[in-house]
A and B are shown apart, each in its own frame.
Chain A
Amino acid sequence: MKILVVDDEADVQPLFLQRFRREIREHEFEFDFALSGEDALNYLHDKHSEVVLILSDINMPGMSGLELLSRIRHEYDEPPPMVMMITAYGDEENHRQAMERGANDFLTKPLDFNLLKEKLKTLSK
C-alpha cells in the first residue's frame, strides 16, 4: 500500500521511515513524501493511481492541507484516495472543515504512531 505524506517539515520523513521500518521491509507499506500541497498535486498528477492513502498536514505555508484536500476530492475521484488530515491545532473548526471537504480521518499532532499504525493496518486488510 502506497502512502503519500505531505508535510512542510522535512524531518517527518525519517520519522515515518523508522516508525514503519518493519512494515516497509516486509513491503506492507510504501512511503512517499511531499513538502507542500503544490508538491503533492504534482506528485499525484503523475502517480495518482498508485497512491492509496494521503496523510496531510493542515498548516503549511502556501497551499494549506484543507485546500489540497478540496483539490484532491475535485480532481481525483476515480478511484478516490483515502485522505487523513493532521493538525497541531486540534480545534473544532479545522475538524469540521476537514470532514466537510471529504477527509476520511482527522488526527492531531503529536502523532500517536501506534494508533496510526493500527489504523493503517485495518485499512490495508
Chain B
Amino acid sequence: MDFFYFLAAFLIIRRINKSLKFSILSPKWRTMLSTATWVIIVGYFATTFTLEDSFQHLIGSAILAGLIYYGIRERDFAPQRSYLLANAPLAIVGLINFLFQAFFDGFYDKYEQFFNYAILIAFAWIFGKWATSRKQEEELRISTERRAELESLVQERTIELQKQKDELQETLQELKTTQAQLIQSEKMASLGELTAGIAHEIQNPLNFVNNFSEVTAELIEEMEEELNKGDKEEAVAIAADIKQNLEKIMHHGKRADGIVKGMLQHSRASSNVKEPTDINKLADEYLRLAYHGLRAKDKSFNAELITHFAENLPQANLVPQDIGRVLLNLFNNAFYAVKERQKTADAEFKPKVEVTTLLKGKSLEIIVKDNGTGIPDEIKEKILQPFFTTKPTGEGTGLGLSLSYDIVVKAHSGKIDVKSKQGEGSEFKISLPV
C-alpha cells in the first residue's frame, strides 16, 4: 500500500513543475524538481523491495510529510498550498498505519482492511480537493479575464471620450474665433453704413471752422479800418464778434474731433471697459449718425426725428461703443422700417423716429419708436436669432439684434423689450441697471 504515498509525492512534484512551467521561477527549480522526481521513483522501488510493510508506511508518509512541509514553507509554491495541504491526511494516515503495525500488530491484522480503506480514502480526498480547487481556480481565472477585458474596454472608451472631448474643445475654440470675427465684421459693416453719415457730420463743423476763420480775418481788417478812422465803439463791437467767432471755431473743431473719436471707438475691437456715460448724448450722437448715414445713401429720404430726453439722468455705467452699436442698430432698423412703409404708403404718411430716455426705478430706459412697417407676429420670436434678417441678401447680416441682445442682456445685465404691430410701427425698449 506504500505505493500511494509515493504516487501522491510524485504528483505533487509534477503539479508544481507544471504550474511553474511558464513562470520566471522555472529555471530556478527545474533541476531540483527533476531530481526530486527521481528520488521518489528510486525511493519507492528501494522501500518496496527491501523493507518490511510497517517501515514502508513510515518512509512513504515521512517523505510525503517532508515534501508537504517544505512546499508549504516555500514562498514560490504558494499557489499550490491548498493542494499540498490536501495531501496531509494521507501522510497522517500513513503514520497511524505504521504505529499500529509496529506496536499493535494483532489489532492491525484484525482490521487491516479498514486501515487500507483509510489510505484509499485519504488518497481519494486529495483528488476531491484538487477537483474543487481546480474549479475555483478556473472561476477565478475567468473572472480575472473578464475584469481585464472590462478594464481594457473602459480604457478604450476613455480614450475615445478624451478624443471626442479634445475635438469638441477644438471646435468650440474655432467657433469662438469665428464669432469674434463675425462680431468684428458686423462692426465694420455698420461702420461702412456710417461712413457717409460721419462724413456729413464732420463736413458740417469743418465748414463752420472754415467760414468763421474766413469771416474773422475779414473782421480784423475791418477793425483796423475802424481804428484808423477813430471809431473806437465800432472797433470794440467787432472785437466782441471776433471773440465769439473764435469760440465758435473752437466749438466746431471739438465737435469734429468728437465725431472722429467716436468713429475710432466704434471700429475698434471692444475694450469692454465700462465707464460712466451720458445716455442722452450717446443716443443723440448715434441717432444723427444713423440718420445721415441713411440720407447719404438715399438722398430723397427724410424722417422726423423726435427726442424726449429726460433731464438730470444719472450717468449709466456701460461700455459706450457697445451700447452705441446697439442704438445704431435700433435706429438703422427704425429708419429702414419707416422707409419701407413709405414705399407703399400714401403721401400723407410722415416717417417718424422717436427716442425717449427716462429713469424708471433703478433702471434707465431708452425707447426707440418708429411708425414703420412693424414686425409680423410670426417672426417676432425670431428677430433676436443670429442671422435672421428680413432684408434682401447683401443688405443685412442678421446679426444686429442678436449682438444687441448679447450686449444688453449678457454684458450689461439689462433687458430688451419689443412691442410691435404690423403696419403701425415698432417700439424697442432697452433697460439698463443704474
A residues contacting B by CB (< 8 A) are 9, 11, 14-15, 18-19, 21-22, 59, 61-64, 67, 88-89, 91, 93-94, 97, 109-111, 113
Query: B305: which of A59, A61, A109 is its contact (CB, 8 Å)?
Result: A61
Please tell me if the beta carbons of A109 and B207 are within 8 angstroms of each other in the complex.
yes
Determine the distance from Cα of A30 to Cα of B305 in the docked complex, in whole angstroms: 31
Please tell me if the beta carbons of B299 and A15 are within 8 angstroms of each other in the complex.
no
Determine the distance from Cα of A63 to Cα of B350 in the docked complex, in whole angstroms: 10
For the A-B complex with A18-B218, A110-B206 known, give 6 more contacts whose Cβ atoms are closer than 8 Å: A14-B244, A22-B222, A62-B304, A67-B302, A109-B203, A109-B207
A110 with B302: in contact, given A14-B248, A59-B295, A61-B291 (CB under 8 Å)? Answer: no
Which residue on chain B has the smallest CB distance to residue A58? B299
Give residues of chain B (277-326) contacting chain A, Cβ–Cβ below 8 Å: 291-292, 295-296, 299-300, 302-305
Query: B369 → chain A, closest Cβ, in Å?
Result: 16
Which of B4-12, B30-38, B208-216, B266-274 faces chain A?
B208-216
Please tell me if the beta carbons of B200 and A88 are within 8 angstroms of each other in the complex.
yes
Task: Answer whether residue B189 sits at the interface, using C-beta atoms and an 8 A cutoff.
Answer: no
Q: List 5 A-B contacts (CB under 8 A).
A: A9-B204, A18-B241, A63-B302, A88-B207, A111-B211
Residues in A with CB closer than 8 Å to B300 are: 93, 97
Determine the distance from Cα of A62 to Cα of B352 in the docked complex, in whole angstroms: 9
Query: A37 → chain B, closest Cβ, in Å?
Result: 10
Residues in B with CB closer than 8 Å to A109 are: 203, 207
Task: Answer whether residue B263 sits at the interface, using C-beta atoms and an 8 A cutoff.
Answer: no
A-B interface, 7 closest residue pairs, ranked by CB to CB distance from nearest: A110-B207, A64-B302, A61-B305, A18-B215, A62-B304, A15-B211, A19-B215
Residues in B with CB closer than 8 Å to A88 are: 200, 203-204, 207
Residues in A with CB closer than 8 Å to B208 are: 9, 11, 15
Which residue on chain B has the smallest CB distance to residue A87? B299
Task: Answer whether residue B245 sits at the interface, using C-beta atoms and an 8 A cutoff.
Answer: yes
Determine the distance from Cα of A88 to Cα of B207 in the docked complex, in whole angstroms: 10
Task: Answer whether residue B252 sits at the interface, using C-beta atoms and an 8 A cutoff.
Answer: yes
How does the 8 Å CB contact mask read for B226-261 relative to A, with 1 for contact and 0 for none? 000000000000000100110010001000000000
Task: Answer whether residue B219 sits at the interface, using C-beta atoms and an 8 A cutoff.
Answer: yes
Give residues of chain B (133-148) contacting chain A, Cβ–Cβ below 8 Å: none
Residues in A with CB closer than 8 Å to B207 are: 88, 109-111
Determine the distance from Cα of A88 to Cα of B202 in the docked complex, in whole angstroms: 11
B residues contacting A by CB (< 8 A) are 200, 203-204, 206-208, 210-212, 214-215, 218-219, 222, 241, 244-245, 248, 252, 291-292, 295-296, 299-300, 302-305
Which residue on chain A has the smallest CB distance to residue B219? A18
Residues in A with CB closer than 8 Å to B204 are: 9, 88
Please tell me if the beta carbons of B291 and A11 are within 8 angstroms of each other in the complex.
no
Please tell me if the beta carbons of A94 and B245 are within 8 angstroms of each other in the complex.
no
Determine the distance from Cα of A9 to Cα of B222 in the docked complex, in whole angstroms: 26
Which residue on chain A has the smallest CB distance to residue B252? A11
Which residue on chain A has the smallest CB distance to residue B307? A61
Residues in A with CB closer than 8 Å to B303 are: 61
Query: A61: which of B206, B215, B219, B304 is its contact (CB, 8 Å)?
Result: B304
Determine the distance from Cα of A88 to Cα of B241 in the docked complex, in whole angstroms: 26
Query: A15: which of B215, B291, B305 is its contact (CB, 8 Å)?
Result: B215
Determine the distance from Cα of A94 to Cα of B70 in the docked complex, in whole angstroms: 118
Please tell me if the beta carbons of A14 and B245 are within 8 angstroms of each other in the complex.
yes
Please tell me if the beta carbons of A89 and B211 are within 8 angstroms of each other in the complex.
no
Residues in A with CB closer than 8 Å to B222 are: 21-22
Query: B210 → chain A, closest Cβ, in Å?
Result: 6
Residues in A with CB closer than 8 Å to B210 are: 110
Which residue on chain A has the smallest CB distance to residue B216? A18
Determine the distance from Cα of A110 to Cα of B208 in the docked complex, in whole angstroms: 8
Please tell me if the beta carbons of B299 and A89 are within 8 angstroms of each other in the complex.
yes
Please tell me if the beta carbons of B211 and A110 are within 8 angstroms of each other in the complex.
yes
Which residue on chain A has the smallest CB distance to residue B298? A93
Residues in B with CB closer than 8 Å to A97 are: 300
Determine the distance from Cα of A94 to Cα of B207 in the docked complex, in whole angstroms: 20
Residues in B with CB closer than 8 Å to A18 are: 215, 218-219, 241, 245
Determine the distance from Cα of A89 to Cα of B295 in the docked complex, in whole angstroms: 10
Please tell me if the beta carbons of A94 and B211 are within 8 angstroms of each other in the complex.
no
Determine the distance from Cα of A22 to Cα of B225 in the docked complex, in whole angstroms: 13
Please tell me if the beta carbons of A11 and B248 are within 8 angstroms of each other in the complex.
yes
Determine the distance from Cα of A110 to Cα of B218 in the docked complex, in whole angstroms: 17
Which residue on chain B has the smallest CB distance to residue A63? B302
Please tell me if the beta carbons of B305 and A113 are within 8 angstroms of each other in the complex.
no
Which residue on chain A has the smallest CB distance to residue B206? A110
Residues in B with CB closer than 8 Å to A59 are: 200, 292, 295
Q: Could you say which of A61, A89, A93, A94 has the most chain B C-beta atoms within 10 Å of its C-beta? A: A61
Determine the distance from Cα of A17 to Cα of B210 in the docked complex, in whole angstroms: 16
Query: A13 → chain B, closest Cβ, in Å?
Result: 11
Determine the distance from Cα of A24 to Cα of B227 in the docked complex, in whole angstroms: 20
Determine the distance from Cα of A62 to Cα of B248 in the docked complex, in whole angstroms: 25
Determine the distance from Cα of A89 to Cα of B302 in the docked complex, in whole angstroms: 14
Which residue on chain A has the smallest CB distance to residue B292? A59
Determine the distance from Cα of A29 to Cα of B222 in the docked complex, in whole angstroms: 19
